[in-house]
Structure 1
Amino acid sequence: MKNTNIILNNTAMKYLHLLEDFFGKIAWSPRHDATSELIFTILTQHTSDKNAEKAYNLLIQSIDNWQDILSISIDKLKLLINSAGLYNQKAIRIIDTIRYIHEYNNNLNLSFLKKFDLNEARKWLMDIPGIGPKTASVVLAFSLGMPAIPVDTHVYRVSKRLRLLDEKVSADNAHVLLENQVVEDKRYSFHVLFIKHGREICKARRPLCYTCPLGEVCPSKEFLSS
């Protein structure tokens, strides 16, 4: 009897290699330090990257360092991040996050997480109130170079259409399931290319199946293109 995990692993990697051939290979490079990435990712929750970037840029222009968050009024913080939406909730979440990190480490440097294994590091971040697996995985993958696969709406949709995830699997549970199917040094590339593919070709509505580099092997092509 064939090992299902090996079959899934081969399938996921086959899809990834086809996307790399089509879009090009992806090299990892850090976007922000881990604490900045965490704050930025909180701001992106339930809004567009454009709105989050506007709020983030205004915020960092108004403080000298993240420690200053604990010194300004919550009303001022809400005003600074207004463009990100849900500013009441996000302001509290940002303050709680900064306080949590500082109380644990006596500073705001999250690089100590690299000493943990992946699931321990993710759990540590998820112990912060309001931080879920996607936000934690973004920080680990984008800032610390750890082999996490953040599952956003595009990764989730494309993975389900390719049968890498069962229809009943939640987005929160999808992170570890996908990581188990992709070798560690290709997980960042998997995340980035699945997002790119989801945005440009495998769209939520009217996917462009006729130009899809996975068209010959996609198990959903007949259904999606009908």
Structure 2
Amino acid sequence: MRELVRHIIEHLEAAYGVPRLRRDRDPLDTLIETVLSQSTNDRNRDRAFARLKARFPTWDALRRASTREIAAAIRVGGLARIKSVRIKRILREIERRTGALDLSFLCRAPLEEALGFLRSLEGVGPKTAACVLLFACGRPVFPVDTHIRRVAERLGLIPRRCSDERAHEQLGRLIPARHCYAAHINLIRLGRDVCRPRNPRCEACCLVQYCAYANEMGSARGDRESDVPARRRIARERAF
């Protein structure tokens, strides 16, 4: 399996390049951005985060705001009432446990402790925790979003319909630490542009030779095409 993953990474980098991680992200910014990204697209997430920061210039101002005020600021991102409550509770819990609205310590803490701290916050699952540590701290963790999960299932890297926990655990073991960021970005690109939920463009996929799903679909298509002459013969016989 590790040899397969090595080939997958090489083909992705040949097709999409090697994206570089920005080193100027704040962990708390990244956490709130990722909460806002839930059940919406990147554009609406970015608009919601920009409006939130414009309305509340400090995290303390946001912590003291009412959920109604927060919801009004982030409405463009969708699920504003749910996310406003979640954000306020997260900020309160961080301040209660650390004495400050600052998560920079996560970049220095042992990896499992950092993951455990984030996962203990309300509404923070394995993907959100991994996003904070990868994007803001450059830690060797691998977030699994819906695009990556779909591609990984079709490639046979994880079982279909497995839990989020298992998907993160299994892919986290398979992706080499130095490739976590590039593989994450490139698999998302592939999932959005080529390996779509419906009508995937297998003919344009740089990983088609490794894809169990593409092989299954190709075999099924071949079976259907081979049945065409027989179906036509039966139809002619019935016509007479």
Provide TM-score, normalisation by structure 1. 0.92
Sequence identity percentage: 32
- Residue among 98, 103, 106 paired with 1:110: 103
Q: Which runs of 5+ in 1 are unaligned?
A: 1-7
Q: Is 1:150 aligned with 2:162?
A: no
Residues 137-173 of structure 1: CA deviation (Å, up to 9, x unaligned): 1111111111111110000000011111012422232
Aligned: 1:171 with 2:139: no
- Give the drift of 1:97: 0.9
From 160, 172, 176, give the equivalent of 1:183.
176
Question: In the alignment, which residue of structure 2 is the partner of 1:94?
Answer: 87
Q: Point out the structure with the larger helix share.
A: 2
Counterpart check, 1:205 vs 2:198: yes
Give 1:59 deviation, angstroms.
Answer: 0.8
Q: CA deviation at 1:49?
A: 1.7
Question: Equivalent residue for 2:54?
Answer: 61
Given the alignment of the two structures, is residue 160 of structure 1 paired with residue 153 of structure 2, yes or no? Answer: yes
Quick check: 138-147 or 110-119, which moved more?
110-119
Question: Alignment partner of 2:209: what SS?
Answer: coil
CA distance in 1, matches of 2:8, 2:216: 19
Unaligned runs of 5+ in 2: 222-240
CA contact (8 A) 2:63 2:92 kept: yes
What is the match of residue 232 of structure 2? none
CA contact (8 A) 1:9 1:180 kept: no
**CA drift at 1:63:** 1.6
Say which SS state the counterpart of residue 174 (structure 2) adopts. Answer: coil
Moved over 3 A (4+): none
TM-score normalised according to structure 2 size? 0.86
Give CA deviations for 1:70-110 in whole Å, capped at 9, x if unaligned: 22222111111111111111111101111111122222221
The equivalent of 2:214 in structure 1 is 221
In the aligned structure 2, how far is the partner of 1:64 from the partner of 1:131?
Answer: 23
Rg bigger for which structure?
2
Corresponding residue pairs, total: 219
**Structure 2 residue matching 1:25: 3-state secondary structure:** coil
Tell me the residue number matched to 1:129. 122
